Amino acid sequence: MAAAIETKDLTKTYRTKAAGNVNVVDNLSLHVEEGEIFGFLGPNGAGKTTTIKMLLGIISPTSGEGTVLGEELGDMNVHHKISYVPERPYYYEYMTGFEILKFYGSLFGITDTDRMNALLERVNLHRDKSKTISQYSKGMQQRIGLAQSLLNDPKLLFLDEPTGGLDPIAHREIRDLILGFRDEGRTVFISSHELSEVELICDRVAIINYGKIARQGKLTELLKGGRVEITVEGYSEQALKDMNIPDAKILPAGGDLLLDAPEESDINAVIDAVRGSGARIVSVVPRKKRLEDLFVETVSAPKAG
């Protein structure tokens, strides 16, 4: 599959009075495939915003190279094929939802009002198109931003915290819209701290820390390594010794026993060993590794060098 975004050794250096030259982004190599939803994650100050600005051509890298939709970073020809919705978009509050689309459409030379009305209907704002932005809730403002981002029919969308601060219903509405973008063959690049949301919709992710890519790949691969918790009662100390269950941690759990085994273990063999000891299985519960676990594990690691 072709790459929507490809960077190699991308670096952005700033000079500070306190520390001299500082690499805010440090030899960053990123691969985003066409038609996928890609999550770009990292703690505050990790270099996410600087990276996005370089990909958008707003700032230039100090060194390294990259392409966006096959064009070199900074090439103006790519701008009509991409869209960007920032975390805190600014709109003229006295304008209505329809006027916002008409205004931004004019920047692309787009005057098709039928298209604008169709986009408003798609984001469920067609009944509110005559309200001013000052009357819009946070969720409505996010949705008008997504409608605006589709005006130029982009192949690649950059979304910065698209569900930040929204209630659960608005979360689902935005999530469904983003999944719809992928169904249309668009590439979606999401920067977010909403890890549970990212886990639900993203195909692949990258975690940046201290300006470097610490993890990158398919979520299904990165989240391998869950556990299976088996709660047991009626065991004895000698029975525990006789079980001899490889790779299983035995954890006291009140009056019961909790066997914590890797998900790739032969769980049937574990259960047979428990039953053979005369103990009773109370429950068997898979504990899938979550993106939050992976994130904390990654960004908590000591800084290299």
Q: Three-class SS string for 11-58?
A: EEEEEECCCEEEEEEEEEEEEEECCCEEEEECCCCCCHHHHHHHHHCC
- Tell which of 184, 202, 222 closes a domain: 222
Question: What is the number of structural domains in the chain?
Answer: 2
Q: Which has the higher per-residue pLDDT, 267 or 35?
A: 35
60-64, 270-274, 298-302: range with highest mean pLDDT: 60-64
Both 108 and 180 in one domain: the answer is yes
* Beta-ladder partners of 85: 159
pLDDT per residue as tens digits for the range 32-75: 999 999 999 999 989 999 999 999 999 999 999 999 999 999 89
Whole-number pLDDT of residue 16: 79
Instruction: State how far Cα 23 lies from the chain centre.
Output: 24
Residue type, 31: H
Helices and strands, number each (H, E), in the chain? 10, 14
Q: Give the pLDDT score at 250.
A: 62
Contact between 133 and 144 under an 8 Å Cβ cutoff? The reply is yes
Whether residue 231 sits in one domain with residue 101: no
Q: Is the pLDDT of residue 164 over 70?
A: yes
* Nearest-angstrom CA–CA distance, 297 and 294: 5
Q: Kindly state the average pLDDT of the residues 174-182.
A: 93
CB 50 within 8 A of CB 24: yes
Residue 212 pLDDT level (bands cut at 50, 70, 90): very high
Report the pLDDT value the prediction gives residue 255, as an integer from 0 to 100.
Answer: 46
Please give the pLDDT value at position 260: 62
121 and 191 both lie in a single domain: yes
Q: Are 19 and 142 members of one domain?
A: yes
Distance (Å, whole) CA 66 – CA 53: 13
Is 124 among the domain residues? yes
- What pLDDT shows up at residue 81? 94
Instruction: Using alpha carbons, list the distances in angstroms from residue 90 to 48, 70, 122.
Output: 20, 30, 21
What is the helix, strand, coil percentage profile of the chain, to 5? 35, 30, 35
Q: Which residues contact 9 (CB under 8 A, 6 or more apart)?
A: 27, 28, 29, 63, 64, 65
Say yes or no: 54 and 177 in one domain: yes
Domain that holds residue 242: 227-288
Tell me, yes or no, whether 175 and 42 share the same domain: yes
Residue 289's pLDDT band, with cuts at 50, 70 and 90, is confident
Best CA proximity match to 156, nearest among 129, 185, 130: 185
Residue 154 and residue 147 in contact, taking contact as beta carbons nearer than 8 Å: no
CB 288 within 8 A of CB 264: no
Tell me: do 86 and 211 sit in the same domain.
yes
Amino acid symbol at 217: G
Q: Are residues 210 and 249 in the same domain?
A: no
Residue 295 is assigned to a structural domain of this protein: no
What's the rounded mean pLDDT across residues 123-152? 93
pLDDT band at 187 (very low <50, low <70, confident <90, very high): very high
Q: Are residues 231 and 218 in the same domain?
A: no
* 17 part of a folded domain: yes
Average pLDDT, rounded, for the chain: 87
Is residue 281 located within the same domain as residue 187? Answer: no
Angle at 247 between CA 241 and CA 250, to 5 degrees: 50
- Which carries the bigger pLDDT value, residue 173 or residue 155? 155
Tokens 């690499």: give the residue: 23
Shared domain check, 252 and 104: no
pLDDT at 102: 95
Domain annotation covers residue 305: no
- Choose the final residue of a domain: 171, 197, 222: 222
Q: What percent of the chain has pLDDT over 90?
A: 57
Distance CA 265, CA 286 (A): 12
Q: Which of 206, 222, 238 is the last residue of a domain?
A: 222
Is the domain of 45 the same as that of 124? yes
Q: Does the residue 204 lie in any domain? A: yes
Residues 6+ apart with CB under 8 A from 277: 235, 236, 239, 240, 242, 243
Q: How many C-beta neighbours within 10 Å does residue 207 have? A: 23
Tell whether 293 is covered by a domain: no
CA separation for the pair 213, 83 (Å, rounded): 24
| Residue 182 domain flag | yes
Q: What's 57's domain CATH number?
A: 3.40.50.300
Residue 14 domain-assigned (yes or no): yes
Q: What is the mean pLDDT of residues 71-93?
A: 90
Concatenated DSSP letters for 135-148?
G--HHHHHHHHHHH
Q: What is the mean pLDDT of residues 169-183?
A: 91
Asked if residues 37 and 206 have their Cβ atoms less than 8 Å apart, the reply is: no
Give the CATH number of the domain where residue 245 resides. Answer: 3.30.70.980
